[in-house]
Chain A
Amino acid sequence: MRALYVSEQGCYLSLNDQLVRVKRQETLYAEVQLPLLQMILIFGKSQVTTQVIRACLWRNIPIVYLSRMGYCYGRILPIERGYRQLARYQDDLTLSDRLQVAREIVCTKLRNSRTVLMRQHRRQPSSSLDLVIQSLAVLVEKVRQADNIPRIMGLEGAGAAQYFSAFGDCLSSDEFIFGDRSRRPPGNPVNALLSFGYQVLWNHLLALIEVHGLDPYVACLHEGHRSHAALASDLLEEFRAPFIDAFVMYLINRKMMDVRDDFVYHNGGCYLNDVGRVKYLKAFVKRMEETITDEFGESQPKWDLLNQQVKAFKQFVYDPVKQPYVAYQIR
């Protein structure tokens, strides 16, 4: 996924033939090739000219407007994206189809969380970690037998609580302390790193869902309503642990973030500041552009895994019986 992230404040995006220019006052920050671009993300206050907007609409490149901490306000999409044909198929999914997908997503999420902890356990064995690893396996079994969404959600919550209690033990830093997960607002730097990462990933998933013509408001696990693109939240679950949690662990354990210089406190929450956000995004994008070998022996950037899952969901929507949805599981 080739994206342009504008995290600097007060930038001005203009079009120069096939190139998008990112300037602030007289400084040219970047020139990006529009035909090769897949998405533009604007964090905070930067301006985009109508010429750029029009060119992006023309080429089906979503422009996403986010708060500085990554919350999505809205996006610019071409008019033909009206979720028509596929949305009908999505509406036709039966309750049992949905339940099956919800189960699959939560099982895989718990398994992936477990794998992340197990990798850490191999490096640094501890009895408390071992206990959580075992209880996550028990929860996976329970989810497999669960027969309604509220029960699945409940087990998912129990799993997350267990998992995050162990997550703090995986951080080998005296400065980044993680007690438990807090969000809206994130209460400390570790939570700020997690929240920001989930938001960024969520936005990429939303863009892909829309590019593929699926209706993001119709989902299986999360309750969809007009203000919540629940399908993006559904598909995010399987990627949280391998793509964000493991990455945050890596950032902290390699001492790549600075607890004093990279964060800002306001409104009772802790957020990445301008410096921290750019640092985070650079490291994140570098990681997501690393190639991994898939099950067919093809090497491809990690970004493409998101695309594959959205495609898999689309295939499931077309034919839920023949193509059951299989979530992304790390090995």
Chain B
Amino acid sequence: MLLYVIVYDLPDNKRRQKIHDLLEGYGQWVQYSTFECWLSSDKYAELQKRLRCQLNLDEDSIRFYPLSRHTVAQVETWGIGPPLWKMPGSTIV
């Protein structure tokens, strides 16, 4: 399980919204076009596969930064915005 920072730049509004909605299923939206996701290797592969279907790589740009445990511990967040994403556990209603 690694923390991935995923950032994207898409000119098309509709496509950007779709990518945003898809990523919301896998992690936390932290600021415009930036998500933090804790993913196992198979979930990461699944997400990339699903993203690949939505993107047009002639126009779009997307970057995936995996963080090692060592560097995750050194992450700093300043100012407003949510704290660093923790993998959520079970939900009880």
Chain A residues at the B interface, C-beta cutoff of 8 Å: 1-8, 11, 17-19, 22, 29-30, 32-36, 278, 281-282, 285, 289
B9 at the A interface (CB under 8 A)? no
Whether B91 contacts A32 by the Cβ 8 Å rule is: yes
Taking chain B's interface residues, is the majority helix, strand, or loop, or is none over half, making it mixed? mixed
B21 at the A interface (CB under 8 A)? yes
Residues of A within 8 Å of B11, CB to CB, are none
Residues of A within 8 Å of B91, CB to CB, are 3-5, 22, 30, 32
Mark out the residues of chain B between 6 and 48 whose CB falls within 8 Å of any chain A CB in the assembled complex. Answer: 21-22, 24-26, 43, 46-47
Q: How many residues of B contact A (CB 8 A)?
A: 14
CA distance A53 to B88 in the complex (A): 22
Residues of A within 8 Å of B26, CB to CB, are 18, 33, 35-36
Number of A-B pairs, beta carbon distance below 8 Å: 57
Chain B residues at the A interface, C-beta cutoff of 8 Å: 21-22, 24-26, 43, 46-47, 88-93
Closest chain A CB from B45 CB (angstroms): 12
Whether A18 contacts B21 by the Cβ 8 Å rule is: yes
Closest chain B CB from A30 CB (angstroms): 5
Q: A29-B93, A35-B47 are in contact. Are A17 and B88 (CB under 8 A)?
A: no
Whether A35 contacts B92 by the Cβ 8 Å rule is: no
Residues of A within 8 Å of B89, CB to CB, are 2, 285, 289
Q: Which 10 pairs, one residue from A and one from B, show the smallest C-beta to C-beta distance?
A: A18-B25, A17-B21, A35-B25, A5-B92, A29-B93, A3-B90, A289-B89, A285-B90, A8-B93, A33-B25
